[in-house]
Amino acid sequence: DVKVTQSSRYLVKRTGEKVFLECVQDMDHENMFWYRQDPGLGLRLIYFSYDVKMKEKGDIPEGYSVSREKKERFSLILESASTNQTSMYLCASSPGQGGKNIQYFGAGTRLSVL
């Protein structure tokens, strides 16, 4: 079974803190994604990566950065957390261009910024 693991289920941080959200997948997938999910807005793509050290902006990249130093790990970084970044963050991975390209999701990290 594909496993996508997010390091924390819940996080509480203060405004201005630097925050790291970690995601690890164990299926050697090329593609990895970070989404945030908010009531009434659904899932919105923040950043994605299709290879090690490669990254692309999604729909809402402002205030975020990412790092992919190893194929299995994709980190989301909030350089200076703000209250409007309080949200549920979901990581996903999928195999390369061939096949069904199903995205597999982690359990999510609920981040509260106070």
Partner 1 sequence: KQEVTQIPAALSVPEGENLVLNCSFTDSAIYNLQWFRQDPGKGLTSLLLIQSSQREQTSGRLNASLDKSSGRSTLYIAASQPGDSATYLCAVRPSGGATNKLIFGTGTLLAVQP
* Residue ranges that bind partner 1, judged by CB under 8 A: 4, 31, 33, 40-45, 48, 50, 56, 58, 90, 92, 94, 97, 100-108, 110
DSSP-based three-state secondary structure for 105 = strand
Judged by beta carbon, residue 84 or residue 97, the one nearer partner 1 is 97
Judged by beta carbon, residue 5 or residue 67, the one nearer partner 1 is 5
Amino acid at position 76, single letter: L
Judged by beta carbon, residue 41 or residue 114, the one nearer partner 1 is 41
- Residue 12: CB atoms within 10 A of its CB come to 10
Least distance from partner 1 to the Cβ atom of residue 35, Å: 8
Degrees, nearest 5: CA angle 54-14-35: 35
